[in-house]
Amino acid sequence: MKIESIGEFSLIEELSSLLPDGEDVIKGIGDDAAVLKGCRRDSYLLIATDSIAEDIHFRRSSGAYWIGRKSLAVNLSDIAAMGGSPLWAVVNFGIPSELSVQYCRQLYRGIAELAEEFELSVVGGDTFRSPDGIIISVTVVGEVEKKRCVFRDGARPGDVICVTGKLGESSGKHLKFIPRIKEARYLAESFSPSAMIDISDGLFADLDHICRASGVGAVIGEAAIPASPRLRGKSEKVKLRALGSGEEFELLFSLPESEIDDLLSYFVDDTGTAVTPIGKIIDDQGRRELIGRDGKVKPFPESGYTHF
């Protein structure tokens, strides 16, 4: 059996079953970040790690600064999805020997400036020769109060599904997006999000992750999805493909219906970021339904990014 025949997520399940879990692990594999018992009684440690590779996640011509920035930003987005704050990072850097020192400096400047913006320290890492292009692997350690930690598995029937920002913009912003740390902290402090994830695999794929983890279903309205202005005039097929694409890095979360009016009243004024209700969690874990603009009900489109 080859990896391509089972796919990325089945491979993860296959491999994770081999790994031990200690008593200090609150949540291991299967969420945006690992959640561990912290040194302080009222908080958890968060550990997020992600890698980006040349010609898969970026082109070298995209600019060293933005590539470096993205390598840290994708991990900050995972910390945000747990409701946490970043503290420290380590950077592993695989480089071809012909790469210039100036290119490397620019890449690290992208990391450094984003780290300074979010007040975390880069405390180490590793550098090695890569014969097949640039590879950057970053691990971020963060922290979240126990009462404010948001997992993927807490969505409940009747909860409203919401998303920040606009979708369908990943081709233009996947290198330059702003991790939604501020917005996630505001949600965790001021509301009761029952489940949350960052949109890295795609709207429909990531909502499916929440549904699977929570044992629920979902119904969303196509017309309710906040679409990028760049999709105006596009066909419905093209719009849905763009709306379901990966690397949006917006927050997708569920919230008790009783809190929606306050969310809509205060969120954008207090964070500067738009938030939009797009559907509801339902008590049917097998249903993933999209209500089209024509009122017809259809299953979630097959979209989103997978590695295999």
Write out pLDDT tens, residues 54-93: 999 999 999 999 999 999 999 999 999 999 999 999 999 9
Q: Are strands 217-221 and 288-291 parallel, antiparallel or unpaired?
A: parallel
For the chain, first and last CA: distance in Å? 13
Whether 253 and 181 share a structural domain: yes
Residues 162 and 131 in one domain: no
How deeply is 158 buried, as exposed, middle or buried, from its count of CB atoms within 10 A (0-12, 13-18, 19+)?
A: middle
117 and 163 both lie in a single domain: no
pLDDT exceeds 90 at position 10: no
The pLDDT mean for the chain works out to 93
Least confident of 56-60, 128-132, 163-167, 233-237: 233-237
- Amino acid 270 reads D
Let me know if residue 254 belongs to a domain: yes
69, 110 in Cβ contact below 8 A? yes
Domain end (from 147, 169, 193)? 147
Residues 193 and 225 in one domain: yes
pLDDT value at residue 308: 60
Instruction: Give the CATH number for residue 77.
Output: 3.30.1330.10
Domain count, the chain: 2
Instruction: State how far the Cα of 252 lies from the Cα of 210, in Å rounded to an integer.
Output: 9
CA-to-CA distance for 25 and 33, rounded, in angstroms?
A: 12
Q: How does residue 6 score in pLDDT terms, banded at 50, 70 and 90?
A: confident
Same domain? 110 vs 195: no
Q: Is residue 55 part of a domain?
A: yes
β-pairing verdict for 135-145 and 85-95: antiparallel
Average pLDDT over residues 15-20: 78
Establish if 162 belongs to a structural domain.
Answer: yes
Same domain, 160 and 114: no
- pLDDT by residue (tens digit) across 106-154? 999 999 999 999 999 999 999 999 998 999 999 999 999 999 999 999 9
**What is residue 303's predicted lDDT score, i.e. its pLDDT?**
67
Over residues 178-204, the mean pLDDT reads: 97
Domain coverage including residue 95 = 3-147
Q: How sure is the predictor about 288, in pLDDT bands with cuts at 50, 70 and 90?
A: very high
Query: Got the DSSP string for 115-161?
Result: HHHTT-EEEEEEEEE-TTS-EEEEEEEEEEEGGG---STT--TTPEE
pLDDT value at residue 236: 84
Same domain, 32 and 124: yes
Q: For 100-117, what is each residue's pLDDT tens digit?
A: 999 999 999 999 999 999
The interaxial angle of helices 181-190 and 64-81, nearest 10 deg, is: 10
Percentage of the chain modeled with pLDDT above 70: 98
Residue 115 belongs to a domain: yes
Q: Are residues 155 and 286 in the same domain?
A: yes
CATH of the domain at 247: 3.90.650.10
Domain boundary, last residue among 147, 179, 214: 147
What strands lie across the sheet with 121-129, from one edge to the other? Answer: 25-27, 34-37, 43-53, 135-145, 85-95, 121-129
In a domain, 305, yes or no: no
Q: 81 with 184, same domain? A: no
Same domain, yes or no: 161 and 65: no
